[in-house]
Amino acid sequence: MLNRPNKTTLGEIQNWLSTVITDPHGAGHALSESTIKPEQYIHSTEIDALSRLNVYAEAYFSRIVECLEADFKTTQQIVGDDAFRQLIADYLIEHPSRSANIGEVGRQLPKFILGHPYATEIPYLADVIAFEWAAVESFYSDSAPPFDFTILANFSESDWAEAQIKLQPSLRFYYAQWAIADMWNARHQPNEVFCETEAGILKSNNSIALWCVGGEMRARDLSRAEMAALNTLKNKGSLSSLSSLITAQPEVGEHLMLWFGEWTKLNLISGVELNRKL
């Protein structure tokens, strides 16, 4: 975009250094493979060139692993620290960071894991990784403050039919082949508690609601009926829009008040609005 005097020299230095410090086998390996001797580019008086380059090489990998550990905490718990680092090393070969924001670096991990041996060894791992990235996306979306439910005391019975239910904007639905929500909820628990939860994991197609309240992520397993009710509310908003669903699935009607109480308690509902002023 801009004119760049001395571009060749600066570009050559940057290409070389980038190659050396991101080599998956280490800076020493990169130097042994390169036709460029380090002293052609860098001063190495008193402290040798490899020691200097290693500072950057180690920081490159550590910084990205640290970020991905935060975003994929459950994954790390499942595979263990060493295997997690290996997974990330493998991942970065195919998907080096392309974004200015290090928070983006895990975006391709759900796709990458599908072709990785770990996904065969641990059949629920791909579900977990995709779910953890969905949690990152939910976190970085609009959120609403907790709703003041005392306002509902002024609602008449007829108000409820036309009331517009506002769900948390961060709400995402995730479809998993494994019941992973309990394991995800246990990710910050001591290892023995986590392992116990992991050992109890079942294969069962299920839906999970994922949302953010006050900067904290929450997840809840949903039955098909509850999922359908929430999805209808998310798309249409009014309680009256549930009537055809209740006709088709009577259990929705049976459980709706119970669910509503739980959605309220969990801050899944961010507001209830009427066309008239209260």
* Residue in 76, 143, 207, 267 binding another protein, rule: CB under 8 A: 143
Q: Does 236 bind another protein (CB under 8 A)?
A: no
Query: Residues 190-229 vs another protein: string with x where CB under 8 A?
Result: ----------------------x-xx--------------
In our burial notation (b when 16+ CB lie closer than 10 A, e otherwise), range 134-166 reads bbbebbeeebbeebeeeeeeeeeeebeeebebb
Cα–Cα distance for residue pair 239/44, rounded to 1 Å: 72
Q: Name which of 46 and 157 has its Cβ closer to another protein.
A: 46
Q: Look up residue 221 and give its DSSP letter.
A: E
Cα–Cα distance for residue pair 163/258, rounded to 1 Å: 18
Q: Name which of 13 and 274 has its Cβ closer to another protein.
A: 13
Q: Name which of 15 and 120 has its Cβ closer to another protein.
A: 15
* Residue in 36, 93, 140, 175 binding another protein, rule: CB under 8 A: 140
Query: Residues 118-137 vs another protein: string with x where CB under 8 A?
Result: ------------------xx
Q: Does 52 bind another protein (CB under 8 A)?
A: yes
CB 269 within 8 A of CB 209: no
CB 94 within 8 A of CB 57: no
Q: Alpha-carbon Rg of the chain, whole angstroms?
A: 25
Sign of CA dihedral 95, 22, 80, 214: negative
* Residue in 24, 80, 96, 117 binding another protein, rule: CB under 8 A: 96
Q: Which residues bind another protein (CB under 8 A)?
A: 1-7, 9-11, 13-15, 17-18, 21-22, 39-47, 49, 51-53, 55-56, 59-60, 63-64, 96-105, 107, 136-137, 139-143, 212, 214-215
